Amino acid sequence: MSADQPITDQGRDGRLIRARLRGAALLVLLMVCTIIGRLYVLQVAEYDKYQTLSLGNHIRLQALPPVRGLILDRYGEVLARNKPVYELQVIPEKTENLEWVLQEVGKIVTLSERELARFRKRLHQRPSFEKHLLKSRLTDQEVARFAVNEYRYPGVSLDAGLQRVYPAGELTGHALGYVGRINEREERRLDPVAYQEVSHIGKLGVEMYYEEELLGRGGFEQVEIDAHGRVVRTISRGAARPGKNLHLTLDRGLQQVAWEALGSRRGAVVALQPDTGEILALVSAPTYDTNLFTDGIDKESYNALRSLAGTPLLNRALYGRYAPGSTIKPVIALAALEAGLDPRQKIYCPGWFMLSGSSRKYRCWKREGHGWMHLHDALEQSCDTYFYNTGAKLGIELMADILNRFGFGRQTGVDLPDEPDGLVPTPAWKQRTRGRSWYPGEDVITAIGQGYLLVTPLQLATATATLANHGRSVRPRLLRGLENPLTGEMEYPAGRVVQSATIKDPAVYQRIIDGMTAVMHGPRGTARASGRHSAYQMAGKTGTAQVIAIPQEQDYDEQGVPEHLRDHALFIAFAPVEQPQIAVAVIIENGGSGARSAAPVARKILDYFFIQRLRRAAIGGITRVFG
């Protein structure tokens, strides 16, 4: 190497350094431009978007559940209301150690094993970001103790709510039904918007049938929250719309009288106004307290209720199906008159009836017989032999036709869920369902309300009203009116005629009603003891329906038969005869004679009804004079 050759090339090194500096400057400039561009996007171009996201960190939109409408009787007495309560709610995903939280909260408020079990069950049924009920109906002391410690338990909140309460309890249980917590199956079919933050839904009765009217419409609330999730202030609010108040046709006082009249016996009472179909009383006994179900009933308690003697969960007034016994005779008599039978023609009753060519005897309830009977006498004294003969002449097809015209064998259309239809048998029905032919003897027993014929107490009361109306049939209903709770405006549904039981000569209705009036007020009427000393005229019909068949050679001994196998007692009536205002049907299971058991129940109901009418009329008169 030459001694004067330079070790470095300063020119080349300078160029390299300058190039690197330019590259670094360019990179820095690019980064600065990127940052400036990103800042522009964040602060200018997408400002609204990111402002909304930022506000979402401390502003929350909360749903406001609607207040469920009240249920009142026809005179304004509250039958279902909402009681303010405090609840402990838990959002599982906001708790770091859920079991520790449950343990610590349990030291402040009482948590039963049932409440903890139900809470843990719900954990597997609903998302962890939703509120889960831990405890409801906290006492004032529990509320105070938890309120001062709430900050220690993130994810646990003390919320104010409303609980459904039924002041009359078991008295109106079967008519009103109850509300209960929404289950998984119901949640899948419900509108998530309408039921947001709504935890209960109508399960049975009026509560279920009029769920949409009672529910109302939810609102919203925009609130500011702090870092712990506590509400600092309310920014805006869209009020929820409460559900409508239901004014029912029920008379709570009459309901009480009917229930007390049944006493400890199993049975049902239905009372309604013939001209409108308004149900005044709907009682099923035994019954149960619907308040047990509003917060959810545990499995053990529910099974215990189901296993009670008398099946209190069964609404006999709506779902009970019974042989109507002799209460069906007025309708069969109409069929006979429709077919041209002479009401003055007499038939001899020796205490039994036999079909031609048969050796079987169909016994009359009066073993020694009634003697010579025409239609009026047969209704007054409830002569089975007369109606055996009539049934044999008419045949099942004619009887089924008139029974169908009176609403038997089909739903009445009452505003209650899942109404059954009863049963009016025919030869075609028997062949289809039993695979057997219809026998002449079945014509005979159908005429006195036995055999396959089945009716519900509600159907029986509706048919009684149709008799009172001379063939005009109205749909029974429990809704009297809907009230807007914000304005107080009332909306009244009109009574609707379902189907008129038209016959060739409407005048024959009076013959039937005269016979039913004699049942109550005639010298030999089967219910004359219940019609005695009445200030008003009533028309009625007693009935006794066999539960077990008695061999021909054996006499029926009520005292020798186990109680659950004794005859059912039935009774129908309406009053006053000239201008009917109330129709009643009473069924007492295994009550024996309808005249002895069921008719006195109806008399108590009718007396109360007319006494109360007079009292209200008197009060109304005083108000008009002095008001």
* Catalytic residue IDs: 326
For the chain, the distance separating the N- and C-terminal CA atoms, rounded to the nearest angstrom, is 136
Q: Is the dihedral of CA 138, 143, 146, 147 positive or negative?
A: positive
List, as one string, the DSSP characters of 537-587: --EEEEEEE-SS---TTS---GGGS-GGGSPEEEEEEEE-SSS--EEEEEE
What angle in degrees, to the nearest 10, is found between the helix axes of 329-338 and 457-468? 50
List, edge to edge, every strand of the sheet that includes 59-64.
59-64, 219-225, 231-238
State which amino acid sits at residue 477.
R
Calpha distance 448→390 (Å, rounded): 10
Rg of the chain over CA atoms, in angstroms?
Answer: 37
> Within its chain, how far is the Cα of 131 from the centroid?
29
Place of tokens 């009603």: 513
How many residues would you count in the chain? 627
Rounded CA gap, 146 and 152, in Å?
A: 10
Cα distances from 566 to residues 56, 352, 438, 499, 569, in angstroms, run: 71, 21, 27, 36, 9
- Kindly state the tokens that stand for 506: 């409407």
- Whether the link from the prior residue into 576 is cis, omega within 30° of 0, is yes
Contact 157, 108 (CB under 8 A): no
Collapse the DSSP code of 217 into the 3-class scheme (helix H, G, I; strand E, B; otherwise coil) and give the result: strand
Q: Residue 347: phi, psi to the nearest 5?
A: -125, 135
Determine the Cα–Cα distance for residues 405 and 332; give it in Å rounded to an integer: 12
Burial of 141 (0-12, 13-18, 19+ CB in 10 A): exposed
Residue 3 burial (CB count, 10 A): 4
Alpha carbons 333 and 399: distance in angstroms, whole number: 10
Coil, helix or strand at residue 284: strand
Closest C-alpha to 584, from 327, 157, 271: 271
- Asked if the peptide bond before residue 286 counts as cis, ω within 30 degrees of 0, the response is yes
Do the bridges between strand 539-545 and strand 568-575 make them parallel or antiparallel, or are there none, so unpaired? antiparallel
For β-strands 71-72 and 245-248, DSSP reports them as parallel
How far apart (Å, rounded) are the C-alpha atoms in residues 518 and 539? Answer: 7
Contact predicate 322/208, CB 8 Å: no
